[in-house]
Amino acid sequence: MKALLCTRYGSPDDLEFAELAEPAAGSGEVVVKIHAAALNFFDTLIIAGKYQFKPAPPFSPAAEFAGTVESLGAGVSSFKVGDRVVGYMTYGAARERVAINVDKLAKVPDGLDFDRAAGICITYGTTFHALKDRAALKPGESLAVLGAAGGVGLAAIELGKIMGAQVIACASSDEKLAFARKHGADEVINYANDDLKEALRRVTNGRGADVIYDPVGGNYSEPALRSIAWKGRFLVVGFAAGEIPKLPLNLVLLKGCDVLGVFWGSFIERDPEGHRANTRQLLDWCAQARLSSHVHAVYPLAEAPAALKAIAARKVMGKVLLKP
Ligand SMILES: NC(=O)c1ccc[n+]([C@@H]2O[C@H](COP(=O)([O-])OP(=O)(O)OC[C@H]3O[C@@H](n4cnc5c(N)ncnc54)[C@H](OP(=O)(O)O)[C@@H]3O)[C@@H](O)[C@H]2O)c1
């Protein structure tokens, strides 16, 4: 089978293509033929050896996928050959087939195509965990989303609306903000040319945002925290800007607010039942077209370097897919 391989840590152009032996399903596993693998920002880091997980090369990037079950290992009764599934792994999906434990899979409902399904597990899973399990977002609250046109950012807009929040999308271009409005944002802020702290106060009539969803970090986190509402919740999701900000704790005291870490990979290990319930809910909403899971672009496996460069260059809105 064809596979995209990181044979040494480096840039997207250092990735290689290889023919590998077909995988076989071990006990408790199935083999899935991958129809679409979704990339995340962290794929740009994992191939450079700069992510929190540093797999030993050679390995394939891409951590979430949609496909069809092709064969069953010993002891598997919950899936059958031909089932349409989504799944996640820390890395390894940029190839034609994977052997994977059934615990990491969920069935795709009718009416949801492979492309839209491929980016549900991690992208929407992380955001639902953040807004529901960590921030306990309530109807009528305001939710400010940084990097709002990116993968998890778009998920935060859409899930925020489903959960009844007033959503304030913050992003770096008017094109991204128009995209955010189209997907449900009530207010928009261009943080490339507006003062984020002042703008957040302005659109919340001076109250500040009840919940701030921050997958960007860098220079945006502190101005956002400075405009959080009394008893607000600040969700630390990621650092796409590259720099991990240090927040002054006096702000946390003065706002009576909570700073909440979001670590989806650890949550799914510690609370597998909660994770499965979240995934079922997300797939249902997606099948009902209440979540767009918007696909920005689909690249053949051989053009994966261009896909990863587009993510690193902040050019992507929603998800980027690879087609093996
Ligand atoms: N905590 C968890 O469990 C978890 C799970 C999944 C992802 N994450 C993290 O969430 C973050 C976003 O992931 P994603 O897959 O949604 O990424 P993405 O689709 O690439 O979106 C990231 C957004 O960050 C903004 N950004 C600002 N500076 C940037 C820079 N220098 N390079 C790239 N983007 C920049 C961009 O929006 P603007 O141009 O509008 O600023 C971009 O749309 C990543 O740090 C990722 O590791 C965390």
Pocket test for ligand 1, best of 39, 40, 89, 177 (most atoms within 8 A of CB): 40
Take residue 181 and report the two structure tokens written for it.
């409005």
Phi, psi for residue 91 in degrees, rounded to 5: -165, 165
pLDDT at residue 51 in the model: 94
What residue's CA is closest to ligand 1, atom 37? 147
pLDDT at residue 281 in the model: 97
Give the Å distance between the CA of 82 and the centre of ligand 1: 34
Pocket test for ligand 1, best of 46, 121, 314 (most atoms within 8 A of CB): 314
249 three-class SS: helix
Take residue 135 and report the two structure tokens written for it.
């921030």
Angle, CA 234 vertex, CA 40 and CA 263 arms, to 5°: 40
What residue's CA is closest to ligand 1, atom 27? 241
Average pLDDT over residues 133-156: 98
Structure confidence at residue 194 as a pLDDT band (50, 70, 90): very high
The Cα 126–Cα 214 span in angstroms is 12
Average pLDDT over residues 110-139: 97
The Cα 82–Cα 92 span in angstroms is 21
Q: Is the peptide bond before 223 cis (omega within 30 degrees of 0)?
A: no
The Cα 47–Cα 227 span in angstroms is 36
Among residues 321, 323, 315, 324, the alpha carbon closest in space to that of 147 is found at 315
pLDDT at residue 112 in the model: 95
**Residues 258-276: pLDDT tens digits?**
999 999 999 999 999 999 9
The Cα 112–Cα 63 span in angstroms is 20
**Residues 40-93: pLDDT tens digits?**
999 999 999 999 999 999 999 999 999 999 999 999 999 999 999 999 999 999
Structure confidence at residue 106 as a pLDDT band (50, 70, 90): very high
The Cα 243–Cα 134 span in angstroms is 23
Report percent pLDDT > 90 for the chain. Answer: 99
> What are the residue ranges of helices labelled H in the chain?
41-46, 114-118, 125-128, 151-162, 174-182, 196-203, 221-226, 249-255, 264-270, 272-287, 304-312
pLDDT at residue 157 in the model: 98
Which residues are near ligand 1 (CB < 6 Å)? Answer: 40-42, 122, 126, 147, 149-153, 171-172, 176, 215-216, 237-242, 262-265, 311-312, 314, 316
Q: Which residues contact 67 (CB under 8 A, 6 or more apart)?
A: 32, 33, 34, 35, 36, 84, 85, 87, 114
Average pLDDT over residues 112-121: 96
The Cα 27–Cα 74 span in angstroms is 5
Average pLDDT over residues 226-248: 97
Which atom of ligand 1 sits closest to the CA of residue 153?
Answer: 16
126-152 CB burial, b ≥16 within 10 A, e <16:
bbbbbbebbbebeeebbbbbbbbbbbb
Give the Å distance between the CA of 58 and the centre of ligand 1: 25
Give the Å distance between the CA of 270 and the centre of ligand 1: 24
Which atom of ligand 1 sits closest to the CA of residue 154?
Answer: 16
Among residues 322, 315, 324, the alpha carbon closest in space to that of 151 is found at 315
The Cα 294–Cα 180 span in angstroms is 11
Among residues 144, 321, 167, the alpha carbon closest in space to that of 223 is found at 144
The Cα 96–Cα 92 span in angstroms is 10
The Cα 45–Cα 324 span in angstroms is 21
Which atom of ligand 1 sits closest to the CA of residue 170?
Answer: 40
Pocket test for ligand 1, best of 157, 179, 237 (most atoms within 8 A of CB): 237
pLDDT at residue 94 in the model: 98
Take residue 275 and report the two structure tokens written for it.
């994770």
Give the Å distance between the CA of 221 and the centre of ligand 1: 13
